[in-house]
Structure 1
Amino acid sequence: MERKTTRSDHAPSVVDMKEVVARKEKAGESHSEHRVRLEGLRGHDQTHRRLKNRHIQLIGIGGTVGTALFVQIGSALTKGGPGSLFLAFTLWSTFILAVNNCLSEMVTWIPISSPFVRFADRFVDPALGFSAGYNFFALQAALVPFEVVAFNLVLQYWTDKIPLVAIIVFVLLSYAFLNMFAVRFYGESEFWLALGKVILAVGIMMFTFVTMVGGNPLRDVYGFRNWDPSKVPGAPFAEYIKTGSLGRFLGFLACFIQASFTIAGPDYVAMAAGEAEFPRRNMPHAFRSVFYRLTSFFVLGSLCIGIVVPYSDPALLNALSNARPGAGSSPYVIAMERLQIQVLPHIVNALILTAVYSAGNSYVYCASRTLLGLALEGKAPKFLTKCTAAGVPIYCVGVTLVISMLSFLQVSNNAAVVLQWFVNLVTASQLVNYAIVSFTYIRFYNALKAQGIPRESLPHKSFWQPFSAYYALAGTLVMAFVGGYTVFLPGKWDIPTFFFSYAMIGIVPVLFVAWKVAHKTQWRELEHIAFFEKERSEVDQYEKASSP
C-alpha cells in the first residue's frame, strides 16, 4: 500500500542510504569515500561538509571579536560613560539574540550554503534575495580591508619600520592560502586563531577583577571608583554634544551605535551551515552558544572597560585623538600602564593582532560563500559556482581578495580615517542585513502556518516567536537610520561620513527595484513557498548515510 504523506513531513521519502553504504563497502568503497562521493552529488553546490562542531563554534567567535571590542570601544566610553556603555551593549545584545532566534530555526532545518541570502529569495521575493546577497557580500568584503588596516595599526604599537605595502601583501597572501586550498585548513586555522580571542577576552576580565580588588603593583583597590560621580564627575552617564538629560541621552546613543557595529555573531554561524558536518545535530548547539558569547564577551566586556579606566581619562582621550597605534588606544593597556604592569600590554597587543587577523580570515570565508550562494541562485555569473576538488569556491575567494586590495587606500590616506570610512559603511550594511533576516523569518513563520507545517516538527524550534522577529526588525531598521545622525547636527556636516553612513540604505532598495523590474519577479505566496525540499532531502541522505 502506498504510504500517505502529510505536510509535516520534513522531506520526500528517500532510499535507505545505509543499504547503499553497505553495498558500496562490499564493492571496495570505504565509508569516508562514500561520504565524499555523496557530498559531490549536491546539485550545483560542490562544497564539502568538512567543518566540525568545534570549528563552527569558533568561527562564530572569529567573525565577531576584533579591535572593536578591545580598542575602538574606548571611543564610545569617552562619549557615554561606563553606565551608558554597559546599558547599551546589554540592550543591543537582546536584539542580536532575537536575530539568532530567527536564523537558528531556519538554518538548522535547511542547512545550505549562504542560507539567509537564499532564504530571502525563496521566502519573500527573488529581488530581495538579490539585494540582500549583494548587501551582505559588500559588508563582508568591506570588512576584509577594514581588518587589514587595523592589522597595520596594531603592528605599529611595536614598530613602524616595516613597509606598509609589505604588510598588506603578506596578510592578503596568507588569507589566500588559508581559504583556497581546503576548507579544513580554514576551519583549523580559524579554530586556533579564534581560541586566542577567547583567551584574550577571558584574560582581560580576570585582569579587571584581580586589579580592582587590589591585585596590582600599586595595591590600589579601585573597585567601581570610575562609576562614582563623586570621584569622576559626570559618571556613570556622561554628557555628549549637549548638556543635561539630552546630553546624557546622546551619550547613551553614541554607545548604542558603537554596540550595533561591535556585536554580531549568528550570521557567521549560519554561513558555515553548507559545509558543516552533521548540521542537524551540530548547528543547534552552535546557535545556542551565541547567547553565552553575547553575555561573556560583549556584556561583561563592556562592564570591564568602564571599571578599569575613567571615561574622562586624559591618557585615553589623548590616545584616541592622536590615533595611537594598536593596543595603545585600548583602555585596558592604558590601565595596565597606569598600574605599572610592564609585560601585559605587549601580550594584549599580540593577542589583539591575532584577533584582527582571525576576523579578516572569517570575512574572506563569509564573503566568498555569499558570492557562491548568489551564483547558485543565478544572481551572479555561473563560473563562480566552480569549486576545486577540495570543495573550495576558488573564483569567489579570488573576487573577494581582489576587492580586499582596497586596503592599499591607507598608503595615501591616514589609516584612522580609512578605518572610520569602513566602520560607517559596514555598520549600516550589517543592520540592513539583520532587518532582512528578521523579515524573512516572519515570512517563513507565516508560510509554515499557511501550509499546516507544525514548528514542533522542525529539528530546532526557537523561543519567543514571532515576537523575536518583529523585535529584531524594528530595532535594526531604526538603528540603520540613526547611525549617522551626527552629520545633521549644526557644524557637523561631512560628505564622506554621510555617504558611508547611508550609502547601503539607499543602494539596497535600488538593487531590489532594479532586479524586480528587469526580471518581473513575483512576491512569493505563502501557500506556495517551497522550503528547499531537494536540498533538505540531500541533507537527510547525507546524515543517514554518515550515521554510525
Structure 2
Amino acid sequence: MDSTAKRSEISSLPSKQSKAGVFVKGGIDKEATSTLAHDQTHRRLKSRHIQLIGIGGTIGTALFVQIGSGLTKGGPGSLFLAFSIWCTFIFAINNCLSEVVTWIPISSPFVRFADRFVDPALGFCAGINFFVFQAALVPFEIVAFNVVLHFWTEKIPTAAVICIVIISYAALNIFAVRYYGESEFWLAIGKVILIVGLIAFTFITMVGGNPLRDAYGFRSWNPAKVSGAPFAEYIKTGSLGRFLGFLACLIQASFTIAGPDYVAMAAGEAEKPRKVMPDAFRSVFYRLTAFFVLGSLCIGLVVPYNDPDLLSAISNAHPGAGSPPYVIAMRHLHIPILPHLVNALVLTAVFSAGNSYVFCSSRTLFGLALEGKMPRFLTRCTSNGVPVYCVATTLAIALLAFLQVSNNAAVVLQWFVNLVTTSQLLNYAIISYTYLQFHKAQGIPRESLPHQSFLQPFSAYYALIGTFTMAFVGGYTVFLPGRWDVPTFLFSYFMIGALSLLFIFWKVYRKTKVSLRDRNIYI
C-alpha cells in the first residue's frame, strides 16, 4: 500500500477522524496533518507478523540468560513471585496501549500520544527515552550473541562476529519491511518452540525422565536440600536479606518482561490495524503467562540458585556462560546433544531480539523526525517505505558492541542492563500517564471506540505507580552502607536526570503548552 492509499485508509475511518487522527475545536489540527503527510511507511505487516513481532521483542537474552542472575540473588521462590507480580503491571500497560493504539494506529504511537494528549515536551522526552532504550539494547544483544557463541568456540574473532551481526541487521531492515516482518516471523516461531520445549523439558525431567532417573521435583525449593531455599538472602541476613533478594528479582523482572510496546510500534505499518491490533494485544496475556510466569518457575526448578556452575557463568562470562541455566541443568543430568540444540536456538533468539530492537528504535527516531523533534532528513524513506537514515543511525549506535573487544563481556552486558532498565520503566510510566490524559480528554463516549480495555482507569493508575516507583528503586544497592559505586549510580539514574533536563529544554526552547487546556479533543 503506498502513502496515498494509506492516507485514504485513515481518512475513511469513522467520522471526526483524519490521518493525523486529531480534530480539535475549530477544525483539523493542521500541524498534525502536515506532519503525517510525510509518513511514507507502508502497511505491509500482516496479522501473523504483528503477533510474532511482539514475541520477537519479548523473548531474548534477558529471559534465557540474564534471568539466572535474579535466581542467584533471590532464590526460586522470590524469582517466581517477582515475575508473577510484575506481569500484572505489564498487563495493565497492555490495557492502556491496546485501547488508544487501536483507535489511532500510527507510526511510533505512544511517543506521539504523549505529545498530543499531554505536552509536546513530554512527547520529546518519551521519544528520546524510548529511542535510547531500544538503541542500547542492540549492542547488548550483539555482545550476548558473541558470549553465547563461545559455548562452542572462541576461535572466531569477536570483532568479526560483531561486524557480521550488524551487517545482517542492516540487510533485514533496509531492503524492505516485508523482509523484516517475514524474517521476524520465522525467528519468533523458533523462540516459541524453544520456550515450549524448555517448559516441557522441565516437567519431564523433574519426574525422573532423564538419564540419571533422578526425580528431582521441587528439590531446589526445599530448604532441607538447598540451604536458604526457596527465598535466598541477598546482601543482608534474615528477613531483610530475603526481602532484598525478592527486590533484586523484581528489578530483574522489570528488565526482562516486555511485550505490549513492541506490538504498538508496528501499528503504523500493520494491514487493517483496527482488526489486527486488538487481537495482537489480547495475545499478550497468554505470552506473559507462558513465557515469564511458567518460565521463571521452570528456571528455579532445573538448577539450584547456589549452583557453582551457574554462579561462575553469571559472574565471569567464561565460555558457555552465555548459555541459559537449562544448559547447565542438562549437563548435570548427563543429557547429550540437547545442550547444543538449546544453545543454538538461544543464539537465534538473541539475534531475533536484536533485530526487533533495530526495527523499533529506527521507527521511534522516524516518528520523532515526523514531529519535528529530530532533523527532517531522517524522514526520508526508500522507495520501499524504509526510513533508511533512521536505520543507519541505529546501526551506528550498535557499534558500541565493540566495547567487548577490550572489556569482559559480563561487565559490558551489565553496563547496558543498568542503562536500559530505568529507561524502560520511565517509558512505561509515560505510557500510563498519557493514557490517563487520553481517558480524560478524548471528549467522546468510550463505547464508540473500536476497542475498549477493561479495569480503566484503574489499570493506568496501577501501572503508573508501580513503574515510576521501580525506576527509583533499581539502583538502591548503592545507598546501602559500604556499597557506594559511582558507575552503578550513574547508569541506574542517568536517564531520570537526562529526561528532566530534556523536558525543561524543550519546554523553554519551543514554549510548549499543556494539551489539556482544551479538553474538547476528538480523534
Give the alignment's TM-score, normalised by structure 2: 0.93
How far 1:64 sits from its partner (Å)?
Answer: 1.4
Equivalent position of 1:37 in the other structure? none
Equivalent position of 2:77 in the other structure? 83
Equivalent position of 1:54 in the other structure? 48
Equivalent position of 1:472 in the other structure? 463
How far 1:319 sits from its partner (Å)?
Answer: 2.3
**Aligned partner (choices 357, 371, 382) of residue 365 of structure 2:** 371
| Structure ID, larger Rg | 1
Equivalent position amino acid for 1:459 in 2: P
Note if contact 1:409-1:418 (Cα within 8 Å) is conserved in structure 2: yes
How far 1:118 sits from its partner (Å)?
Answer: 0.3
Sort the Cα spacing of 1:315 and 1:10 in 2 relative to 1 into closer, same or farther, 3 A: same
1:310 is paired with a residue whose SS is coil
Find out whether 1:387 has 2:381 as its counterpart.
Answer: yes
- Partners of 1:315 and 1:399 in 2: how far apart? 39
Equivalent position amino acid for 1:270 in 2: A
**Aligned partner (choices 196, 208, 227) of residue 233 of structure 1:** 227
1:121 is paired with a residue whose SS is helix
**1:326-365 matched pairs, under 5 angstroms:** 326=320, 330-365=324-359
Equivalent position amino acid for 1:179 in 2: N
Find out whether 1:515 has 2:509 as its counterpart.
Answer: no
Equivalent position of 1:121 in the other structure? 115
2:151 is paired with a residue whose SS is coil
Equivalent position of 1:224 in the other structure? 218
Note if contact 2:144-2:322 (Cα within 8 Å) is conserved in structure 1: no
Equivalent position of 2:394 in the other structure? 400
Equivalent position amino acid for 1:100 in 2: N
Equivalent position of 1:163 in the other structure? 157
Equivalent position of 1:456 in the other structure? 447
- Partners of 2:382 and 2:15 in 1: how far apart? 29
- Partners of 2:390 and 2:15 in 1: how far apart? 30
- Partners of 1:414 and 1:144 in 2: how far apart? 18
1:231 is paired with a residue whose SS is coil
Greater shift in the superposed pair: 250-259 or 222-231: 222-231
Structure 2, unmatched stretches of 5+, are: 1-12, 19-34
**Aligned partner (choices 29, 38, 49) of residue 44 of structure 1:** 38
Find out whether 1:309 has 2:303 as its counterpart.
Answer: yes
How far 1:360 sits from its partner (Å)?
Answer: 0.5
2:106 is paired with a residue whose SS is coil
- Partners of 2:165 and 2:508 in 1: how far apart? 41
- Partners of 2:319 and 2:384 in 1: how far apart? 39
**Aligned partner (choices 498, 502, 520) of residue 493 of structure 2:** 502
Find out whether 1:255 has 2:246 as its counterpart.
Answer: no
- Partners of 1:508 and 1:108 in 2: how far apart? 28
Structure 1, unmatched stretches of 5+, are: 1-8, 15-40, 534-548
Note if contact 2:144-2:350 (Cα within 8 Å) is conserved in structure 1: yes
1:63 is paired with a residue whose SS is helix
Equivalent position amino acid for 1:73 in 2: I
2:58 is paired with a residue whose SS is coil
Note if contact 1:228-1:236 (Cα within 8 Å) is conserved in structure 2: yes
- Partners of 1:341 and 1:243 in 2: how far apart? 36
Greater shift in the superposed pair: 311-320 or 397-406: 311-320
- Partners of 2:81 and 2:338 in 1: how far apart? 28
Equivalent position of 1:323 in the other structure? 317
Equivalent position of 2:474 in the other structure? 483
**1:532-543 matched pairs, under 5 angstroms:** 533=523
Equivalent position of 1:544 in the other structure? none
1:367 is paired with a residue whose SS is helix
Note if contact 1:237-1:248 (Cα within 8 Å) is conserved in structure 2: yes
Give the alignment's TM-score, normalised by structure 1: 0.88
Equivalent position of 2:7 in the other structure? none
Greater shift in the superposed pair: 234-243 or 468-477: 234-243
Equivalent position of 1:178 in the other structure? 172
Equivalent position of 2:413 in the other structure? 419
Identity %: 75
Equivalent position amino acid for 1:212 in 2: M
1:75 is paired with a residue whose SS is helix
How far 1:488 sits from its partner (Å)?
Answer: 1.6
- Partners of 1:233 and 1:413 in 2: how far apart? 34
- Partners of 1:328 and 1:524 in 2: how far apart? 47
Sort the Cα spacing of 1:325 and 1:443 in 2 relative to 1 into closer, same or farther, 3 A: farther
Equivalent position amino acid for 1:220 in 2: D
Provide Cα deviations, 1:295-349, integer angstroms capped at 9, x if missing partner. 0000000000111111122222222232234455522111101110011111111
How far 1:13 sits from its partner (Å)?
Answer: 8.1
Equivalent position amino acid for 1:397 in 2: V
Sort the Cα spacing of 1:339 and 1:386 in 2 relative to 1 into closer, same or farther, 3 A: same
CA RMSD of aligned residues (A): 1.4
- Partners of 2:507 and 2:135 in 1: how far apart? 25
Sort the Cα spacing of 1:373 and 1:529 in 2 relative to 1 into closer, same or farther, 3 A: farther
- Partners of 1:267 and 1:152 in 2: how far apart? 27
**1:121-140 matched pairs, under 5 angstroms:** 121-140=115-134
Sort the Cα spacing of 1:153 and 1:483 in 2 relative to 1 into closer, same or farther, 3 A: same
Equivalent position amino acid for 1:113 in 2: S
Tell me how many residue pairs correspond in the alignment.
495
Note if contact 2:141-2:354 (Cα within 8 Å) is conserved in structure 1: yes
Equivalent position of 1:11 in the other structure? 15
2:210 is paired with a residue whose SS is coil
Find out whether 1:66 has 2:60 as its counterpart.
Answer: yes
- Partners of 1:300 and 1:327 in 2: how far apart? 23
Note if contact 1:328-1:334 (Cα within 8 Å) is conserved in structure 2: no
Note if contact 1:376-1:382 (Cα within 8 Å) is conserved in structure 2: yes
Equivalent position of 2:240 in the other structure? 246
